[in-house]
Chain A
Amino acid sequence: MQKVKAFLGYFIAFLGVPIVLATFMGNQFFSEALVKATGLEVSPWIIGGELQETLPREGYRTLIYAPVFMGLIGETNEGFIQIAWSPAANLPENISEEFDVNKDGKMDFKVTLNTREKTGTLDAYSADVISMEGPFNYKTKDTLKTESLAVRVTIKRALKP
């Protein structure tokens, strides 16, 4: 038994070099396999929710992302909805848009932006709309990585569609 254990010990120890080589030389392959197998992605709390709606405007588009309420288990009471205007280079100086988050036919808030000065204000029409962060420069998550201007509006879960 002792000899078998020793043999196994040395055998595994010998595998050290191939494992290190594979770790570095096969890193690209293993990284892609890891992401594919697990489906892991960066938290929407960090990079915003999935793109949900694209509204074409004159020379630019308004991108509305899915509201984020993800909790460790279940959902949080407060979350945010991200809205982006893209491409940043084509935006008019002033933008003013109203949004209906829960699709009940009533607008929930209005965002007014000065794209040159990169300033913005939020007009909340509902007590469930709390505050706004931004505007900030944002690269869209598609392959084009278009430079956009985005805001994040903090909302309560009651507004979730």
Chain B
Amino acid sequence: MTTLPPKAQSTRPGIAKSILITIPMLLLTALVIMGSVLGGSGDPDGLLVASALLTWSGINVLFFLMVWTQKTWRWRAILFVVFALSMILVFSVAITSTRGSTTLTQEDVYNGETPFCHLVIPMILLPAALTNTIIFPGSMLEGFAAISFMLVLWIGASLVLGRAFCAWGCFYGGLDEGCSCIAKKPLIKKVDRKWTYLPWAILLIIVLSSAITLSPTYCEWLCPFKAVTEAAEVTSVITLIQTIIFLVIFAALVIILPILTKKRTQCSLFCPFGAFQSLTNKITIFDVRIDTEKCVGCNRCIETCPTYSLDENCLKTGHTLLSCTRCGKCVDQCPKQAIHFHVKGTAPHKRPNLARSLFLYPAFLFLATFGGGTIASAIYYILKLITTGSMF
């Protein structure tokens, strides 16, 4: 058993300072959450206002705790998981109210009524560049999750967050993150590192197969989240095989393996978008650094990193692997406070609190805005169900 070194002195801010740091976030989230939830309705529904207020206050309590306790991962994970669960509910209700059911028929495909999600992005780029068309059955500008809406969101997220999108923006990531938090200790401790290259292999295959067939092959054959969003209507042996694949991958990678390994196995061992998004870590200004002088080599960070983004070599070089999602778990867990957020170009290991704040503000704001609207809608549907007996 590994003996942990004694904890380093914490630099926790006082309550007043924490409140002061939280105030700008209170205002910003009020602007974006209230704006997005209440903006469209002239005379807002009381339930909608209550849902928005509840969401806004909950989110800001989490941000305050993040600032006050100096723990990033713990409070982010709560919001992230709630976001993912809310997304499933809101997605199902939105799709059912526009199409009548969550199953995807061939008619829905031909009518371009499928909501676009970021996982499709790597597959559409090559055909878009060569044919100027998007090989996804959605709408460019209209309806729920239109293609251009999601593309703009992805560009903004990539510029600011890089692969941190996978920890602060992806509405699926919270599912395996939630499952990875269930067990107290991992039952499977060692996973061969070569499997961390599997997302790259899948990325290679799906990008090329989508280009050959001019259709999003990952969505058609491999996406585990079809199991909880909108799988194709089973009308043939092929659609039956596809549905079985979705269910098996979802159960294995999003539920069972995260519980057994305490890792985000879908995100780190399968998701081709995650691999693709890793490349944007090269353009974002934020990264996570390890102070090799402070590090005592206890390997706690390697053991706890949910995405296999740290190895022993990282402890020598002071850099994380390209797949780092800046979820903050290693920063929280390091007993010597040797790991911290960092702004590229600045001196490493100096003013880590400033770097953390500079990262937390846009990252949390992204999660609060993207997730806030969804969580508020989910609360609204639940309140509506309680008060009227129907979500619609």
Instruction: Enumerate chain A interface residues (CB-CB to B < 8 A).
Output: 2, 5-6, 8-10, 12-14, 16-17, 19-25, 27, 30-32, 34-35, 38-48, 70-73, 133, 136-139, 150, 152
Contacts and interface: CB of A to CB of B under 8 A. Distances in A.
A2 B350 CA distance: 13
* Most chain A CB within a 10 A radius of its CB, from B110, B137, B156, B358: B110
Given A13-B359, A16-B285, A150-B110, A41 B132 contact: yes
Nearest to A23: B156
B32 A31 contact: no
B160 A136 contact: no
Contacts of A42: 112, 133-134, 136-140, 147
B106 A136 contact: yes
Contacts of B126: 72
Interface in B122-179: 126-128, 130-141, 146-149, 151-153, 155-157, 159-160
A112 B107 CA distance: 20
B153 A41 contact: no
Given A13-B358, A20-B366, A40 B36 contact: no
Nearest to A8: B345
Contacts of A31: 141, 146, 148-149, 151-152
B132 A39 contact: yes
Contacts of A152: 110
A23 B112 contact: no
24 contacts: A5-B346, A8-B345, A9-B343, A9-B344, A10-B358, A16-B363, A17-B28, A17-B362, A19-B362, A21-B365, A24-B369, A25-B35, A31-B141, A31-B146, A31-B149, A38-B132, A40-B134, A41-B140, A42-B147, A43-B131, A71-B214, A73-B130, A150-B110, A152-B110
Interface residues of B, number: 59
* Most chain A CB within a 10 A radius of its CB, from B31, B109, B344: B344
Given A32-B148, A42-B137, A43-B135, A16 B361 contact: yes
B26 to A, nearest CB: 14
* Most chain B CB within a 10 A radius of its CB, from A20, A48, A70: A20
Interface in B332-356: 343-347, 355
A82 to B, nearest CB: 8
Contacts of A32: 141, 148
B286 interface: yes
Contacts of B358: 10, 13-14, 16
Nearest to B140: A35
Contacts of A27: 149, 152-153
B299 interface: no
A138 B109 CA distance: 10
A42 B141 CA distance: 10
Contacts of A5: 345-346
Please report whether the interface of chain A is mostly helix, strand, loop or mixed according to DSSP: helix
* Most chain B CB within a 10 A radius of its CB, from A8, A13, A22: A13
Contact of B133 (A13, A14, A43, A137): A43
Nearest to A152: B110
A136 B36 CA distance: 36
B215 interface: yes
B212 interface: yes
A20 B164 CA distance: 13
Contact of A24 (B36, B136, B285, B359): B36
Given A31-B146, A35-B148, 16 more contacts: A6-B346, A12-B285, A13-B355, A16-B160, A17-B362, A24-B32, A24-B369, A31-B149, A31-B151, A41-B134, A43-B135, A43-B136, A43-B214, A72-B126, A72-B212, A138-B107
Contacts of A39: 132
Contacts of B106: 133, 136
Contact of B369 (A9, A20, A30): A20
B57 interface: no
Contacts of A20: 156, 160, 362, 365-366, 369
B130 A21 contact: no
Given A13-B286, A17-B362, A27-B149, A35 B141 contact: yes
Contact of B345 (A6, A30, A34, A138): A6
Shortest beta-carbon contacts, A-B, top 10: A23-B156, A9-B345, A16-B362, A31-B148, A5-B345, A43-B133, A13-B358, A6-B346, A30-B152, A12-B285
A40 B365 contact: no
B96 interface: no
A40 B139 CA distance: 11
